[in-house]
Amino acid sequence: MVHTEHTPDIVQTQRDWTRTYNALAQAPATSNTALRRRLIGLSRRLVQDVPRTQLADLRRRTEEQT
């Protein structure tokens, strides 16, 4: 698979998305509104700035770098 270069801010957004998603999975249902809103904002940014065909590659690459 050919890796596409992603800008550092997009890579950081993906890392933030992963951390927020994991935090949301651990948060009690009564106190997760802020995490849900943050995840929606991060998701919106990723969908707008990264072509759909490159999203999986971006996720894979950020996991490899951590």
What are the boundaries of each domain within the chain?
8-65
pLDDT in tens, the chain (66 residues): 445 688 999 999 999 999 999 999 999 988 899 999 999 999 999 999 999 999 999 999 888 876
Query: pTM, whole model, 2 decimals?
Result: 0.84
pLDDT of residue 3: 56
Instruction: Collect all residues with Cβ–Cβ distance below 8 Å to 62 and sequence separation of at least 6.
Output: 11, 14, 15, 18
**What is the C-alpha to C-alpha distance for residues 6 and 58, in angstroms, rounded to an integer?**
8
DSSP of 25-59, one letter per residue?
HHS-GGG-HHHHHHHHHHHHHHHHHS-HHHHHHHH
Q: In this structure, what is the dihedral angle of CA atoms 1, 51, 41, 8, given to the nearest 10 degrees?
A: 60
